[in-house]
A and B are shown apart, each in its own frame.
Chain A
């Protein structure tokens, strides 16, 4: 972890994020990992808005925001320029899940296919939070958002999360990882590994949003931890396309995670929807199977 001079954070306090904001913590941890020798290309979104209201900025490193969908393309140009100038700054993109999994996919795919030496960080809070909690390709199955609301004939978001890490691994990315703000050292180490791996690398960091998910602002890290402990979020690394080092857990039932969030409240009230809860449990079970994260299951071999 890079030393921060004078006790100051490179990502300053005093920005305008909500209390308990997961993405703000991710930004702070990101810059602890990168240190000063970095250029950040940011997407439009919560983080951009809360951290750079002109004339104030929270970023103590060079930072550029152009548009919602283009940080990977902007970073491609920055990287090419630095290469031509013989400069050494690392180039890091940061965008939310809407920017990364939806509107920015074209630019990201192009940048990864071309093999630019950039690291792309997606802070995944599982919906378009800046515009008021609309569903994205990263919104989990069954979550109620303002564009996938639960209703008399709707169970919330009808689709599971898009598997962006696999998509980028399929581009030949040398290093792809998922992380969670509940495990800050792990996230920081993954960022350090990514920026020091030549070529395009990707990290999707789970950043619960108390405002969008509906939980108390003091519960952000607990919520991130529960996502891991239920198997609905898996921390893993993919090196040259192969999964390595998935974090093992003694899994809890998904209900423990779901019932603490307003976005899943319709699964419990007015009537309990065991069928949907079972489907979500199925997603966690499939994750556990795919990544081999169960500590206990390993002992009882089939």
Chain B
């Protein structure tokens, strides 16, 4: 049954049904509605969890790490500066193989201070060992949380995950969302079964230090788990589709790509605008399609190359910038398409909440087809 609700509320409702036993979070715009809703659920005994009102995001993730190691399913949510403050713990949690699920309400990073959306925050953690999934709408956001727990807690994976959805554009927007019942979620997501836990009956040391004789092998194991996570995601996404009718078995998803000459590549809520723009361009006879990246880590390079092999031009929309080297997604798509002969152009767009309209998408396609790219799109030159 579809219900009309705010994106943040949909996240809180689905997280509740995923039965985390420990929640630790620190308020930051635009994540707050999620953790406020969860706090109210705990206050109303709707959710059987300890809720730790930590004094910082750094401690939020540290507490999640401890609770996870002690044998509990855990949850947190953050964004932007909060995620930046977690940087050290992010690498640590992945290296310690703790299957933590955290929602990222994507927001830009200061300076200058901005509370509005882009994807600089989570993308800046791309090398941390966290799985990263990006949602186009609130339904996908809710659904990806269930899939994320399933993939992370798989004993062949044991990695943490970000479920990313765009701040304000999705977090504060009301959309119809179908929420599964508790029984349905329980049928999909089994109770947490820790691979190892801190336990006086079976004392183990977690987080030891490694000399040069061992360190590389630990990093290799994390990378191997990342690679396995592709198949685990496909499997969990397919099972989700079988149970709920919404299939997420694809790491990347094409839209009107079959006969496209030019493909846009994007992640997150911008994909909705892109699809509408494509529909209009198609009405005008332009053979344009979209490749939506759902899983950014692990990066589906082969899947991207397969999906784009029929196109001649690719325009990547990057809501981030690796300062000094263009957009992160564009760089990686170029790498994935290396040697294919396809022209790939990167567009830094919509940073810090700058609005993107259908006509902007059409303009990007025009630029790409003229061979102009690797640039900021939509700069207000009058204020430069």
Q: Which A residues lie at the B interface, using CB under 8 A? A: 36-39, 41, 48-49, 52-55, 57, 59-67, 69-70, 72-78, 80-85, 89, 106-107, 109-111, 113-114
Are A54 and B211 interface neighbours, CB within 8 A?
yes
Are A84 and B206 interface neighbours, CB within 8 A?
no
Most chain-B CB neighbours within 10 Å: which of A59, A61, A82, A84? A84
Are A85 and B71 interface neighbours, CB within 8 A?
yes
Question: A53-B211, A78-B198 in contact; A66/B92 too (CB < 8 A)?
Answer: yes
Please give the number of chain B residues whose Cβ is less than 8 angstroms from any Cβ of chain A in the complex. 43
Q: What residues of B have a CB within 8 angstroms of the CB of A85 in the complex?
A: 21, 70-72
Are B198 and A62 interface neighbours, CB within 8 A?
yes
Are B66 and A76 interface neighbours, CB within 8 A?
yes
Closest CB in chain B relative to A115 CB, distance in Å: 11
Which residues of B47-101 have CB atoms within 8 Å of chain A's CB atoms? 48-50, 52-56, 58-59, 62-72, 74, 88-89, 92, 96
* B24 on interface, CB distance cutoff 8 Å: yes
Q: What residues of B have a CB within 8 angstroms of the CB of A113 in the complex?
A: 55
* B199 on interface, CB distance cutoff 8 Å: yes
Which residues of B148-200 have CB atoms within 8 Å of chain A's CB atoms? 198-200
Most chain-A CB neighbours within 10 Å: which of B56, B96, B207, B209? B207
Residue contacts A-B, CB under 8 angstroms, 26 given? A36-B203, A39-B198, A41-B66, A52-B205, A55-B208, A61-B203, A64-B205, A65-B207, A70-B62, A73-B62, A74-B69, A76-B52, A76-B54, A76-B63, A77-B52, A78-B66, A78-B69, A80-B50, A81-B71, A82-B70, A85-B71, A85-B72, A106-B58, A110-B56, A111-B59, A114-B53
Are B92 and A67 interface neighbours, CB within 8 A?
yes
Complex CA distance for A84 and B69, rounded to whole angstroms: 14
User: With contacts A70-B58, A74-B65 known, what are 10 further pairs, Cβ within 8 A?
Assistant: A52-B209, A53-B211, A73-B58, A74-B63, A80-B67, A81-B21, A81-B68, A89-B199, A110-B56, A114-B53
Q: What residues of B have a CB within 8 angstroms of the CB of A77 in the complex?
A: 22, 24, 52, 62-70, 74
Closest CB in chain B relative to A117 CB, distance in Å: 12
Are A84 and B66 interface neighbours, CB within 8 A?
no
* B220 on interface, CB distance cutoff 8 Å: no
Q: What residues of A have a CB within 8 angstroms of the CB of B55 in the complex?
A: 106-107, 109-110, 113
Complex CA distance for A107 and B58, rounded to whole angstroms: 8
Most chain-A CB neighbours within 10 Å: which of B22, B198, B210? B198
Per-position binary interface string of chain B over residues 211-231, scored 1 when its CB falls under 8 Å from any chain A CB and 0 otherwise? 100100000000000000000
Q: What residues of B have a CB within 8 angstroms of the CB of A41 in the complex?
A: 66
Q: What residues of A have a CB within 8 angstroms of the CB of B58 in the complex?
A: 69-70, 73, 106-107
Which of A52, A66, A106 contacts B96, CB < 8 Å?
A66
Are B52 and A80 interface neighbours, CB within 8 A?
yes
Are B209 and A54 interface neighbours, CB within 8 A?
yes
Complex CA distance for A32 and B88, rounded to whole angstroms: 33
Per-position binary interface string of chain B over residues 24-45, scored 1 when its CB falls under 8 Å from any chain A CB and 0 otherwise? 1000000000000000000000
Are B72 and A73 interface neighbours, CB within 8 A?
no
Which of A52, A78, A110 contacts B67, CB < 8 Å?
A78
Q: What residues of A have a CB within 8 angstroms of the CB of B70 in the complex?
A: 39, 77-78, 81-82, 85
* B113 on interface, CB distance cutoff 8 Å: no
Complex CA distance for A66 and B86, rounded to whole angstroms: 13
Which of B22, B54, B211 contacts A84, CB < 8 Å?
B22
The residue in chain A whose Cβ has the minimal distance to the Cβ of B49 is: A84
In the A-B complex, the 6 residue pairs with the smallest Cβ-Cβ separation, listed nearest first, are A77-B66, A110-B55, A77-B63, A73-B62, A77-B67, A74-B66
Q: What residues of A have a CB within 8 angstroms of the CB of B199 in the complex?
A: 62, 89
Closest CB in chain B relative to A76 CB, distance in Å: 5
Which of A36, A53, A61, A70 contacts B59, CB < 8 Å?
A70
* B204 on interface, CB distance cutoff 8 Å: yes
The residue in chain A whose Cβ has the minimal distance to the Cβ of B202 is: A62
Q: What residues of B have a CB within 8 angstroms of the CB of A36 in the complex?
A: 200, 203
Q: What residues of B have a CB within 8 angstroms of the CB of A81 in the complex?
A: 21-22, 50, 66-68, 70-72
Are B71 and A39 interface neighbours, CB within 8 A?
no
Complex CA distance for A41 and B56, rounded to whole angstroms: 19
Q: What residues of A have a CB within 8 angstroms of the CB of B48 in the complex?
A: 84
Are B207 and A76 interface neighbours, CB within 8 A?
no
Closest CB in chain B relative to A2 CB, distance in Å: 12
Are B66 and A110 interface neighbours, CB within 8 A?
no
Are A84 and B21 interface neighbours, CB within 8 A?
yes
Complex CA distance for A37 and B201, rounded to whole angstroms: 8
Closest CB in chain A relative to B23 CB, distance in Å: 9
Q: What residues of B have a CB within 8 angstroms of the CB of A65 in the complex?
A: 205-209
Closest CB in chain B relative to A4 CB, distance in Å: 14
Q: What residues of B have a CB within 8 angstroms of the CB of A76 in the complex?
A: 24, 52, 54, 59, 62-63, 66
Complex CA distance for A89 and B69, rounded to whole angstroms: 14
Question: A54-B209, A67-B92, A78-B69 in contact; A73/B59 too (CB < 8 A)?
Answer: yes
Complex CA distance for A57 and B74, rounded to whole angstroms: 27
